Amino acid sequence: MRIRFLQVAQLELDEAVDYYNYELLGLGDAFLVEILKALDRIAKYPESWSPLSKRREGAKLDVSPTALSTRLEKTKSW
C-alpha cells in the first residue's frame, strides 16, 4: 500500500518533532520513529484500525496519546 502524507500533515509533524526536541533532546526523534513505525503498520495492515468517523480510521502510537488519522482510497490499476 502506498502512503500519502498531506502537506499540512507533514508540516504539523515537522513542527511536533522540533517542539519535542526543544523540550527534551532526542524526544522529537523518538516521536518520529514511532510515527514511522505506525506508518509501516498502516501500510502492512490498511484495514485494521479503529474507526474515528465514517470515513477515517486511526492508528494509535505506542508512546503517545496521538493517533494517526487514515483513509483508504480506492485506486485503479491499469
Quick one: pLDDT at residue 45?
Answer: 83
- CA 56/CA 36 separation, integer angstroms: 19
Q: 61-71 b/e with 16+ CB inside 10 Å = b?
A: eeeeeebbebe
Predicted local distance difference test score (pLDDT) of residue 58: 63
CB distance 15 to 24 below 8 Å: no
Domain ranges of the chain: 7-70
User: 26-41: per-residue pLDDT in tens?
Assistant: 999 999 998 898 888 8
pLDDT in the model for residue 51: 67
Ranges under pLDDT 70 in the chain: 49-78
> In this predicted structure, what is the pLDDT of residue 28?
95
Contact of 35 with 70, CB cutoff 8 Å:
no
pLDDT at 5: 80
